[in-house]
Amino acid sequence: MSTARVLLWLALALALAAAVMLYLQPGFMVLLAEQVWACF
Protein backbone atom coordinates (compact mmCIF):
# COMPACT_ATOMS: atom_id res chain seq x y z
CA MET A 1 0.00 0.00 0.00
CA SER A 2 1.18 3.48 -0.72
CA THR A 3 1.83 5.99 2.03
CA ALA A 4 -1.02 8.22 0.87
CA ARG A 5 -3.47 5.33 1.07
CA VAL A 6 -2.34 4.42 4.58
CA LEU A 7 -2.69 8.05 5.67
CA LEU A 8 -6.18 8.20 4.16
CA TRP A 9 -7.27 5.09 6.08
CA LEU A 10 -5.72 6.49 9.27
CA ALA A 11 -7.58 9.79 8.85
CA LEU A 12 -10.82 7.92 8.22
CA ALA A 13 -10.32 5.80 11.35
CA LEU A 14 -9.57 8.89 13.46
CA ALA A 15 -12.69 10.68 12.17
CA LEU A 16 -14.81 7.63 12.96
CA ALA A 17 -13.32 7.38 16.47
CA ALA A 18 -14.00 11.08 17.07
CA ALA A 19 -17.63 10.67 15.99
CA VAL A 20 -18.08 7.67 18.30
CA MET A 21 -16.60 9.63 21.23
CA LEU A 22 -19.05 12.49 20.60
CA TYR A 23 -22.04 10.16 20.46
CA LEU A 24 -21.04 8.63 23.81
CA GLN A 25 -21.37 12.01 25.54
CA PRO A 26 -24.92 12.60 26.80
CA GLY A 27 -24.62 16.39 26.58
CA PHE A 28 -23.77 16.20 22.90
CA MET A 29 -26.70 13.92 22.22
CA VAL A 30 -29.08 16.39 23.94
CA LEU A 31 -27.62 19.27 21.91
CA LEU A 32 -27.98 17.30 18.69
CA ALA A 33 -31.58 16.35 19.52
CA GLU A 34 -32.45 19.98 20.30
CA GLN A 35 -30.99 21.16 17.00
CA VAL A 36 -32.92 18.53 15.04
CA TRP A 37 -36.12 19.38 16.93
CA ALA A 38 -35.61 23.09 16.16
CA CYS A 39 -35.98 22.29 12.45
CA PHE A 40 -39.64 21.38 13.07
- The full set of domain ranges for the chain reads 3-38
What pLDDT digit, counting tens, does each position of 4-33 carry?
Answer: 999 999 999 999 999 999 889 999 889 989
pLDDT-derived band at 35, boundaries 50, 70, 90: very high
What pLDDT is recorded for position 13? 97
The proportion of the chain whose per-residue pLDDT surpasses 90, expressed as a percent, equals: 80
C-alpha neighbours within 13 Å on the C-beta side of residue 8: 5
Q: What is the C-alpha to C-alpha distance for residues 15 and 29, in angstroms, rounded to an integer?
A: 18
pLDDT-derived band at 1, boundaries 50, 70, 90: confident
What pLDDT is recorded for position 23? 87
Prediction pTM value? 0.62
